[in-house]
Amino acid sequence: MNYTFKWSVLWSGQSGAWLLQGVITTLELSALAWLIAVVLGILSGALRTVPFPPLRWLATFYVEFFRNVPLLVWMFFWYFAVPPLLPRPAQDWLFNHGAEFWAGTLALGVYHGARMSEVIRSGIGAIPRTQFEASVAMGLTTFQAYRLVILPVALRLIVPPGTNESLNLLKNSSVALTISVAELTFQTRQIETYTAKAIEALTAGTLIYLVMCLSIATIMARVEHHYAIPGLISRRQPAG
Amino acid sequence: MMRTLSLLLALAVALTATPALAQDTLDKIKASGVLVIGTRTGSPPFAYVNKNNEWVGFSIDLVEQLVKPSVEKAVGKSIKIEKKESTPPTRIPLLTSNSVDLIAGTMTDTPQRRESVDFSLTFFYTGAQFLVKKGSPIHGVNDIAGKRIASQQGSTNAKILREKYPQAQLREFPDQPAAFQALLQGQVDAYTNDGIQLAGLKVKAPKPDDWEVVGDFYSEEPYGMAMRKGDAKFKAAVDAGLKRGFESGKYFEIYDKWFGAKGELPYPMTPQVKAYLLKQIGK
């Protein structure tokens, strides 16, 4: 290959600062979106299993509507279609205070909430129906049964697929560059623009994503281990 | 896809071409009676195929009305113009392989390109400006502090703003449609790009009269006609034609035909540009 590598572009000039800034933005964006996704996911996932049809329909509508439209479209939706619904001064205030970032966060959070919802629902579905019946028989209301019995068990069951979703969310945050959020992928492109060294910049971006994702996976594995209820999941694999 | 095709074409042209002996372009034209130009087919109003299927444009008019008479004078006989399509990746190979004699389209004269080709006098001059809503407080690059400015990611304009005007809130979009949409809806206060591109966008806006292109150029994009390097006699003939056009005012008539108020793309010439063009011929 006729290409001269020049890895020093990654730490000379402003590249290092740009990458760091990109990592911070990616983490902020992903963390906030993750919180939205988890809250919406638990709520709608639980609602899809309750014995009250209108709530089930509502939750089903949310899930099917939001997960079946491409994320890129949601980015444009939250950035271009939502602000015009607000009064003009509010719009201007938003656009001066990081509207791009918030639109990106909402797009990512609401989209992944719909996907998270299915994960939670499958967790709830894995719990024998008798547990719910036993809870109600003991005098708990439906809400109490979900809060005290069903959800605590379901959330433990869904840690592995939940981790999967979380990693997807982190990587999907790169779509926010289409609405000018200067996250990690944006910054790697920036380095490429300035130095014309595409391979070095992309490699740096790839490694950073890899490290972030591996860290999350490790933390989640520990969480799973820590909160495991002895005897609930019979075949626990050896750690590692 | 088009890009790949163009590149392959360029490669094919470069490989099959007989090594260009230092042939004098004027001798070649004298022998064949034809001046072959490489130009664009889809860059209105510089060079494009119009509704009546005619290959026309500002750059083509300049060749036919200014350069052709001058070359005819130099070779001492009347000649014909033959047009071939050239695109950014193919135009330099087409020249060096002798397939065309002159590139007359939308080529920016840059120091890097001057290493492989020669350029005529500048025949069109554009640079970075701002597209804003009519009545906007932004009149140029000095009014953008604190304002939200859209730009295209990776463009030289974005780079200049980031380095020299850090007080502006720069918003970089990966493509032109998204940036333009952000301007239309008020997400940003202005969109910056080459002036001539902004003029093209303005025409396409839902209500063109609501928008205006403002500001002096804060970057330079001079367009020139490209020729094989080191052919001084041919370059002198081409430059003489353009120079005559500037002197007689013919050039400005042609400019007005394409860029005047009733032209294909209204883009009035600023005094700054006029001075730049005339300075080339010592005025």
Supply the CATH number for residue A81's domain. Answer: 1.10.3720.10
Q: What is the pLDDT of residue A93?
A: 94
List of chain B residues whose C-beta atoms are within 8 Å of the C-beta of residue A179: 173, 178
Q: Are residues B242 and B115 in the same domain?
A: yes
| Local structure of B209: helix, strand or coil | helix
Q: Is residue A15 a part of any domain in this protein?
A: yes
Predicted confidence (pLDDT) per residue in B89-131, tens digit? 888 889 989 999 999 998 889 887 888 899 999 999 999 999 9
Q: Are residues B145 and B101 in the same domain?
A: no
B187, B188, B189, B191: best to mutate for the A interface, most A CBs within 10 A: B187
> Residue B108 gets which letter from DSSP?
B
Omega prior to B45 cis, within 30 of 0? yes
Instruction: Please say whether the beta carbons of B45 and B103 come within 8 A.
Output: no
Of B128, B20, B124, the residue nearest B66 (C-alpha):
B124
| Token reading at A176 | 């926010």
- State the Cα–Cα distance between residues B273 and A201, nearest whole angstrom: 39
Residue with tokens 């025949």: B123
pTM over 0.80: no
Q: Are residues B204 and B230 in the same domain?
A: no
> CB-based contact (8 Å) between A180 and chain B?
yes
Q: Are residues B120 and B32 in the same domain?
A: yes
- State the Cα–Cα distance between residues B156 and A104, nearest whole angstrom: 26
Report how many domains make up chain A: 1
- State the Cα–Cα distance between residues A176 and A108, nearest whole angstrom: 8
- State the Cα–Cα distance between residues B273 and A183, nearest whole angstrom: 39
Give the number of other CB atoms < 10 A from CB of residue B187.
27
Name the strand (E) or helix (H) holding B71.
helix B68-75
Q: Is residue A134 a part of any domain in this protein?
A: yes
ipTM over 0.90: no
Residue ranges of alpha helices (H) inside B165-194 are 176-185
CA-to-CA dists, residue A46 to A53, A61, A66, A145, B138, angstroms: 13, 14, 17, 11, 52
| CB < 8 Å from B in window 192-221 of A | 192-194
Q: Which of A91, A178, A193 sits opposite B186 (nearest CB)?
A: A91
Predicted confidence (pLDDT) per residue in A1-51, tens digit? 457 788 888 888 889 999 999 999 999 999 999 999 999 999 999 999 988
Q: Are residues B32 and B90 in the same domain?
A: yes
Given B191, B214, B237, the domain boundary residue is: B214
Which residues span the domain enclosing B200?
A: 128-214
Between chains, do A91 and B174 touch, taking CB under 8 Å as contact?
Answer: no
Q: Are residues B139 and B184 in the same domain?
A: yes
